[in-house]
Structure 1
């Protein structure tokens, strides 16, 4: 019987990795007839796709199904040379010095959030801990405060949860328009009153001849806001899930917090929040005996590649002492995540404060809800308790 892959199947949403193994072994280039998309799952092939932008283009968007409001305006939805030009401008907001100077404020915010929930002994982790911490950190980076920050958080909350299906839009069109309207208001305000935020930095670069348009500034700011919330926020829940599922590794980390950076890398490899991205073929291409025609949509499965035993030994084992393995949790090739080091630093700061505060904890999966979208793995809600 021919294998049929259903990205919306409840068992796949709960644990995609057994299905990924079947795809890697039996159908490493899988044509999903319902959508017309082609899924690429083996480590070597994923690496090849991500490096070859002249064949696998991001210019039609890098989300599986992308919003026209973003396409062609963001780092993720452009190819070199324009991608490289935009990257040189945007990366000025992600220098090591700028990342480091924000860590004390993040740590202080984490402590305030934890003080509100610690004595309860339980919480819905995403709404009580993860989102407030992440929205606060990203809001500071973008210069969003008060009611504006609350509005951005409300719009972002429905990301990958707005009924578009597992291969559909990440955010409903009306909500995406709301995000762009909010950011445009902030952009117009910064044109007459600059501050120390990414908006102002990009406007300064625009004034100095970068060639970056207002639409490109808005597109990339939407990426920082939405992708930051999606990838870091869901990964935060995945870390808590991985350490709960593997209590020996949690005890290992609690006994030696110097292993935090290694633990974060292993979590990103073992259960990345960034499961897949999209590309468009510019010509017919042959992979593993299959032909992907020109102008086809390709889904590049990072999560599957990160568990490929052809490249990583015993990949289903979660081991924070594992020798560092090259993974795709932060992408690869020209589009490797610009905010990877920011994410690592932010997560390290958060977890070094959070884990000692709650120590052992339990997760109630019966009261939790997973995100149901092929691009992202994580929890929309996560029920936790500790100290009982």
Structure 2
């Protein structure tokens, strides 16, 4: 179907996608429209809900990518996968996202927050976004995943760079293609942790990363190491939404 020329814009452009007057007009006059090739925008609750609850009719593949961009399955975040792979991965992850694991992480999280604030107070001045809210939620996620404390801030810095790069839209940056090509330091760090869990076998730490590495379903299916790396980035980068929420509360 053709683009709705009267409502056309580039959804991947951060300026155009935050043109609130344009978006208000679209919601008012054409709540379901085609602003660009291969893109359908829903701007009201009923239509948006209908899309989200009908995965058979409305695919999530390429959901976060620019029109026409296709990335390998192993480079795809969970939200841009359809069945049967999406529910298979989700079943693995849900074993790690439990109330007991959240409760177990709470003492560590409280101590970490207290330590960060004390270090900032000793400095006398800081940027609360850069020094506290950006690294903090991801640090808690990294702890649950099983990442050593000393790697948390570096990982969240790389994930912040990734989210604000061309990678989400295109799957690449000027440095290279995919997470490994575009962010080699991030990929190398996570690959080493994944290999460590795989080598440890049944003696691996009891954490989310070990769960992803060692879980097999009844048919012997497992999440590949490449996709585990992508999913860890997915979880860590997703924590940045909490960072921005905290920033809005400051």
TM-score, normalising length from structure 1? 0.52
| Alignment check: 8 A CA contact 1:24 1:42 kept | yes
Q: Is the Cα–Cα contact under 8 Å of residues 161 and 171 in structure 1 kept in the other structure?
A: no
1:220 alignment counterpart: 231
Q: CA deviation at 1:22?
A: 1.6
Alignment match of 1:123 (pick from 98, 107, 126): 126
Partners of 2:75 and 2:131 lie apart in 1 by 35
Q: Pick the aligned partner of 1:199 from 209, 221, 224.
A: 209
Q: Distance in 2 between matches of 1:218 and 1:47?
A: 30
- The alignment's C-alpha RMSD in Å is 3.3
Q: CA separation of 1:148/1:68 partners in 2, compared to 1, >3 Å: closer, same or farther? A: farther
Instruction: Name the structure 2 match of 1:84.
Output: 87
Residue in 2 that maps onto 1:320: none
Q: Distance in 2 between matches of 1:131 and 1:188?
A: 27
How far apart are residue 45 of structure 1 and its match?
Answer: 0.6
Corresponding residue for 2:56? 54
1:158–1:171 contact (8 Å) kept in structure 2: no
Question: Alignment partner of 2:199: what SS?
Answer: coil
Task: Give yes or no for contact 2:135–2:152 (8 Å, CA) kept in 1.
Answer: no
Show structure 1 runs of 5+ residues with no match.
Answer: 241-388
1:329-361 deviations in whole A, cap 9, x for unaligned? xxxxxxxxxxxxxxxxxxxxxxxxxxxxxxxxx
Equivalent in 179, 189, 196 of residue 182 of structure 1: 189
Aligned counterparts of 2:77 and 2:115: Cα–Cα separation in 1: 34
SS of residue in 1 equivalent to 2:33: strand
CA contact (8 A) 1:61 1:71 kept: no
- Aligned residues of 1:126 and 1:237 also touching (Cα < 8 A): yes
**Which of residues 44, 48, 51 in structure 1 aligns to 2:46?**
44
Q: Deviations over 1:125-145 (max 9, x none)?
A: 221111231232122122222
- Which residue is 2:169 aligned to? 168
Q: Hey, what does 1:64 align to over in structure 2?
A: 65
- What is the match of residue 245 of structure 2? 235
Secondary structure of the residue aligned to 1:158 is helix
Segments of structure 2 that go 5 or more residues without pairing to the other structure are none
Bigger shift: 73-82 or 99-108? 73-82
**Is the 8 Å Cα contact of residues 89 and 205 (structure 1) preserved in structure 2?**
yes
Q: Which structure's relative contact order is higher, taking Cα pairs within 8 Å and 6+ residues apart?
A: 1
For 2:111, the equivalent position in structure 1 comes to 108
The answer to whether the Cα contact below 8 Å between 1:64 and 1:168 also exists between their aligned partners in 2 is yes
For the 8 Å contact 2:135–2:153, the answer to whether it is kept is no
* Corresponding pairs, count: 233
Aligned to 2:155: 152
Structure-1 separation of matches of 2:161 and 2:45: 31
Higher strand share: 1
